[in-house]
A and B are shown apart, each in its own frame.
Chain A
């Protein structure tokens, strides 16, 4: 019976695991696990006996995938990590996303330079997915500030949505065999053409099982003041699609900034979505006063959630995978900061408490009830 709330926290210096009973009054922390190197992706795999995964991005000795089969009491390297074929010419620079696939052991992995890998044996062996990794656009994508990363993998039956920075949104409708760019309405601020076919700096994409075709996107916004070729591009940062990502429209009106990284959907209400607006120049919350913003009507309007959060002088960044929400009846949000704080937003983000305030800089937060 599911009765524990488990967090994986990927940091600059390894992965931590935090665990609490359902009331979530206090979390016990374990770790860090791994050799003290950045962890950009974690996964709490609840298919069958829970398994935890973490990327281990070692700048000295290369990329590894860590796996725990004892609920995060220890981690071991899988037998191999994703790697490009020798003749490909590319070399793995980072592992950015880990997601479950079909059955109980299939895993998908998005990497830098932006490419997709798949494992059929819980991460012990990997094969490159050529439909996107060798896509005709792949050698034209450009790295963003965080590198050329495939950070979002969303499976929806035979559909697979991918988010690439900077490549844009790609969708497969044949289980990952072939992909095409699907960016109509997704703006770019760093190219003369404000709406290119591909090459957008997508930051994160989210969906909900109960709303077929609905997707939310946090794109790279902050271009309202642009006065160069193509003119200003206000409100291109927060978007919604209702046709499986084939077209997108802005839902940024009412937010203090359309720039941000994570975007999260309420587990029981597809119309409730959360973002963390940041000032585009500093990547910190407007006025140094952190707040999560929530829409309860699919992006038509937004409200500010900041009770318990610092009111001033807080200049952290929340990275693209550093916010998540649990699936309990009254869910709690969680976000981690680049200053090493882990916050919990109880009652759907109504009241915030700091769970841990001195972790290494946080890249990734995932939560599951196990």
Chain B
């Protein structure tokens, strides 16, 4: 088994303050779950905004791999390939 592919995590504007202003992060991960685990280790403040204490992605956030919502793929078990872009976006809601 080779090294995990390197993917790009796109950070939404409101969360950049938790990762020194970075717009995107390079992460080695072969699934979305592994990417989040990597984030928990390397960017814990950012991670807490994305996942709750149980490790679940917060209810009003959507995670996309390229242009697909992981909800329509395999959830956090969605596999990643080198060059994929993972985007975290707040769901549209308000009032």
Contact = CB atoms under 8 A, between A and B. Distances in A.
B55 A86 contact: yes
Contacts of B53: 83-86, 88, 90-92
B5 interface: no
Interface stretch (A58-66, A184-192, A278-286, A306-314): A58-66
Contact of B14 (A35, A59, A83): A35
Contact of A62 (B52, B91, B93): B52
B65 to A, nearest CB: 20
A60 B90 contact: yes
A89 interface: yes
- Name B's interface SS: loop
A336 B11 CA distance: 37
B52 A61 contact: no
Task: Report, as a range, how many residues of chain A touch the other chain.
Answer: 10 to 19
A140 to B, nearest CB: 20
A110 to B, nearest CB: 17
Contacts of A90: 53-54
Contacts of A83: 48, 53
B60 A91 contact: no
Given A35-B14, A83-B48, A62 B58 contact: yes
A90 B90 CA distance: 22
A89 B61 contact: no
A60 B48 contact: no
Residue from the set B50, B52, B55, B58 with the largest chain A CB neighbour count within 10 Å: B52
Contacts of A35: 14
A73 B56 CA distance: 35
Contacts of B52: 62, 91-92
A345 B67 CA distance: 56
Interface string A39-64: 00000000000000000000111100
Contacts of A59: 59-60, 93
B15 A91 contact: no
Interface in B41-95: 48-50, 52-56, 58-61, 90-91, 93
Contacts of B55: 86
A142 B57 CA distance: 24
B60 A60 contact: yes
A62 B54 contact: no
B54 A60 contact: no
Interface string A88-111: 111110000000000000000000
Given A35-B14, A86-B54, A91-B54, A62 B60 contact: no
Interface string A12-35: 000000000000000000000001
B76 to A, nearest CB: 16
A89 B55 CA distance: 9
Given A35-B14, A83-B48, A61 B54 contact: no
A83 B48 CA distance: 10
Contacts of A85: 53
Contacts of A92: 52-53
A88 B54 CA distance: 8
- Kindly list the 3 A-B residue pairs having the minimum CB-CB distance in the complex, ordered from nearest: A91-B52, A61-B49, A60-B90
Interface of A: 35, 59-62, 83-86, 88-92
15 contacts: A35-B14, A59-B59, A60-B60, A60-B61, A60-B90, A60-B91, A61-B15, A62-B49, A62-B58, A84-B53, A86-B53, A86-B54, A86-B55, A90-B53, A91-B52
Interface of B: 14-15, 48-50, 52-56, 58-61, 90-91, 93
Given A62-B48, A91-B53, 16 more contacts: A59-B59, A59-B60, A59-B93, A60-B14, A60-B60, A60-B90, A61-B49, A61-B58, A61-B90, A62-B58, A83-B53, A86-B54, A86-B55, A88-B53, A91-B52, A92-B52
